[in-house]
Chain A
């Protein structure tokens, strides 16, 4: 009886234990069903076993399915264990037929040795490389990014496949653009060479016949003056005048084109001396116009002396030329140091830049022409009222640019004109010091 009672008692305890376990199991199933649990740890004898749930990486699976890259998992011998649908799109095969195939068969034949190297490398660490995926006459350039994964089920290789079709197209376009640029560069070099050729032609071959026109018209005027009517003499004067004008045009075009040749030599130069010398050349014209040229002090700057002289010459001769008939011209030349290469810069004692201003009280011009006056052959006045070639200010601007400076002009009709020039104190990269 004792043993029966004992047995019943044991069975009851066992039943109780089983009920408790069943209850726990139900609780767990409920927790799993409602998504409260990602993983289970179960004590099995002396070891703990970890069970992860398929639902836990559901988000990642969706993510991988939807991403724009192809994604694969390969077995250690290169068989496709998993592929996302982007990869199936890439090669144009349904997912069901891809699983179980060796990935290598989708690699273009000439890229296979490289792929094998990548594959081998990737087990030791992340590897990346570009290959072509090729299937059914369809070739796609891709980047492979291989990462070995240690998973509970064993080792596998994950591959992310980035389609490079667009990138390659962009690259090709870029290369094509580069080629075109190179071609343009050659054309530019050629036309630069042509310009130099033109300069040499202009210097002699154009001037020789022109000189003949000048000298023979001069001869005609002297020798036949008595036999010519006033009209005929006037025609002859026009021929001589036009020929003289053409001569100065050719000379100025030559001066302009010679500025293109990079032969600037910048040396510290006292601009006061440059101006003084120049004013001696203008002596007659200044006296004739009863002009006053006032120099309030110029600095010593690193410049090409001949070119800067040309700048002063062009600006001062303009100021004398475009003066008012009823008022003697007054030309004022000033300078101040600047902190920056800008017309709005603040003053700075012996700053790295210098602002030169050359202002006159002449006829001025409408401010709307302030930029175009620097263009080649740009004139604001008819040839018969003011002589000139329309090259002077273009040369001036080019010289200032060669000196890494800035030039601008302000003007008002009937008030006067002011040229402002910014030049650096020192020329950087002065490779041609003598």
Chain B
């Protein structure tokens, strides 16, 4: 997957847990195929970020944590998919626990896929590989 000549995909992560934000950067910063945009902490901040985003930092894909304060993953997803400017951005929902409801509802609302939060470095690598395959 790692091909230096390719333009890296810009990823916006919405995640309220500082540890989980940390894992993302610690485990994925070395990759040349992805560029991690400054993370946001909830759904509301996703829209604040997108409104201010210029071409240079407009995300190629968004990863939403489901369990976030103020505006959770599914709520954020629903608003994104009903917004003419943002509806085409691929969205992934990820969570510690992915039950059938979360899976079905996310796909219904237009998410590309639902992922369970990884438990290790390899898990994170595999998750990003899978995401890049899907967009």
CB distance from B20 to the nearest CB of A (A): 9
Which A-chain residue is minimally distant from B19 (CB atoms)? A212
Taken together as a complex, chains A and B put the C-alpha atoms of A218 and B121 apart, in Å, by 9
Taken together as a complex, chains A and B put the C-alpha atoms of A212 and B117 apart, in Å, by 11
CB distance from A325 to the nearest CB of B (A): 31
Interchain CB contact under 8 A, B19 and A204: no
The verdict on A204 contacting B117 (CB below 8 Å), with A211-B96, A212-B19 known, is no
Interchain CB contact under 8 A, B119 and A218: yes
Interchain CB contact under 8 A, B120 and A208: no
Quick one: which of A366-412 are within 8 Å of B by CB? Answer: none
Which B-chain residue is minimally distant from A209 (CB atoms)? B96
Residue A93 is within 8 A (CB to CB) of chain B in the complex: no
CB distance from A245 to the nearest CB of B (A): 14
Contacts of B120 in A (CB 8 A): 215, 218-219, 222
Residue A214 is within 8 A (CB to CB) of chain B in the complex: yes
Interchain CB contact under 8 A, B96 and A207: yes
Interchain CB contact under 8 A, A208 and B121: no
Mostly, the B contact residues are: loop
Which B-chain residue is minimally distant from A205 (CB atoms)? B67
The verdict on A211 contacting B119 (CB below 8 Å), with A203-B97, A203-B99, A204-B96 known, is yes
Taken together as a complex, chains A and B put the C-alpha atoms of A211 and B124 apart, in Å, by 14
Which B-chain residue is minimally distant from A247 (CB atoms)? B119
Taken together as a complex, chains A and B put the C-alpha atoms of A214 and B23 apart, in Å, by 13
Interchain CB contact under 8 A, B119 and A208: no
Interchain CB contact under 8 A, B121 and A211: no
Contacts of A203 in B (CB 8 A): 97, 99
The verdict on A208 contacting B17 (CB below 8 Å), with A215-B119, A218-B119, A222-B121 known, is yes
Which B-chain residue is minimally distant from A199 (CB atoms)? B99
Taken together as a complex, chains A and B put the C-alpha atoms of A214 and B97 apart, in Å, by 14
Contacts of B121 in A (CB 8 A): 218-219, 222
Contacts of A212 in B (CB 8 A): 19
Which B-chain residue is minimally distant from A250 (CB atoms)? B97
Of the listed residues A204, A222, A254, the one surrounded by the most CB atoms of chain B closer than 10 A to its CB is A204
Of the listed residues B67, B95, B97, B118, the one surrounded by the most CB atoms of chain A closer than 10 A to its CB is B97
CB distance from B24 to the nearest CB of A (A): 12
Interchain CB contact under 8 A, A207 and B119: no
Contacts of A208 in B (CB 8 A): 17, 67, 96
Taken together as a complex, chains A and B put the C-alpha atoms of A218 and B19 apart, in Å, by 14
CB distance from A131 to the nearest CB of B (A): 62
Taken together as a complex, chains A and B put the C-alpha atoms of A254 and B120 apart, in Å, by 24
Quick one: which of B76-135 are within 8 Å of A by CB? Answer: 95-97, 99, 117-121
Of the listed residues B67, B95, B96, B117, the one surrounded by the most CB atoms of chain A closer than 10 A to its CB is B96
Contacts of B95 in A (CB 8 A): 204
Partner of B97, one of A204, A218, A219: A204
What are the 3 A-B residue pairs with the smallest beta carbon separation, nearest first?
A: A207-B96, A218-B120, A203-B97
* 11 pairs from A and B in contact (CB 8 Å cutoff): A204-B67, A204-B97, A207-B96, A207-B97, A208-B17, A208-B96, A211-B119, A212-B19, A215-B118, A222-B121, A254-B99
Residues of A within 8 A of B (CB): 203-204, 207-208, 211-212, 214-215, 218-219, 222, 254
Apart from the given pairs A203-B99, A211-B96, A254-B99, 5 other A-B contacts in the complex at a CB distance below 8 Å: A208-B17, A211-B117, A212-B19, A215-B119, A219-B120
